[in-house]
Amino acid sequence: MIDLLTAPFVEFAFMRRALAGCVALSVGAAPVGVFLTLRRMSLMSEAMSHAILPGAAVGFLWAGLSLPAMTLGGLVAGLAVAMLSGLVARSTVLREDASLAAFYLISLAGGVLLISARGSSIDLLHILFGTVLALDDDALVLLGGISTVTLIGLAVAYRPLVMECVDPLFLRSVGRASGPVHYAFLALVVLNLVGGFAALGTLLAVGLMLLPAITARFWAVDLSGLLPASVVLALMASVAGLLVSYYASLPTGPAIVLAAGALYLASMLLGPRGGLVWRLIPARHLEA
């Protein structure tokens, strides 16, 4: 049994690289997903994952399947969409979610059009769904750097982020940190989506960010438990997805996200914090 779990990683360097990339992505993206869910911004991350596509497409058209060019393009496009949607929301009658939806739909359509016009269907699939089994040294350095920056950023902004999750109006009333913290957090979201794009592609990058964070709610009740639980669940999904894709010859990115989805469904049934099975068990009368 142990050999089945360890043999692919012992025998093949590409599996070790894929595992290292997923570990880096899990450590950085999953905590960001926890704050997204607490701030009721889960669907925003889905929109942002599509918003980076035109920048990645421009990088692809400029330098081919070059990770630095596509990463830089995706980062610029994601930050631009985030800032523009916030500016439109503050300058017009539109709310931020509506302006973000408009910008991300334009970005997604433009990115697909750019890639389709100059590339092949293989190139489009590569960008949309990623190639986690083909991560090289540059990709691993990128993912490790993004994870490090994310953890440092969350540590620095931890208190205002928590305050904004609990009472954003109070944070705005006691100082001017609300705006800078909000935009810094959006930058971390975009940064992790760009990292996820390198491994899982544009359409699946958000899966490893949100699913473990949502699942953690069934295992912990506060941030001191939610943050480590989300990381552990993301790591479990990564390992399970890599093994399933190896033995069943399935696409790796979707296998990882589906493994995270399976953990969510199992936790929804069996999780000690509000799982359906536990809710069916009657509580003892006057139990403390």
Per-domain boundaries in the chain: 2-280
Gap between the Cα atoms of 126 and 138, Å rounded? 17
Q: Which residues contact 157 (CB under 8 A, 6 or more apart)?
A: 181, 184, 185
Closest C-alpha among 85, 65, 67, 109 to residue 189: 85
- Say what the pLDDT of residue 135 is: 84
Residues 226 and 220 sit within 8 Å (Cβ to Cβ): yes
- Spans in the chain with pLDDT lower than 50: 288
pTM of full prediction above 0.75: yes
Residues 164 and 182 sit within 8 Å (Cβ to Cβ): yes
Residue 26 CB neighbours (<10 A): 27
Q: How many CA atoms lie within 13 A of 281 on its CB side?
A: 11
Third-level CATH fold of 2-280: ABC transporter involved in vitamin B12 uptake, BtuC (1.10.3470)
How far CA 85 is from CA of 89, 92, 116, in Å, comes to 6, 10, 26
Q: Which residues contact 197 (CB under 8 A, 6 or more apart)?
A: 49, 52, 56, 70, 71, 74, 127, 130, 205
- Say what the pLDDT of residue 122 is: 58
- Say what the pLDDT of residue 275 is: 84
- Say what the pLDDT of residue 288 is: 47
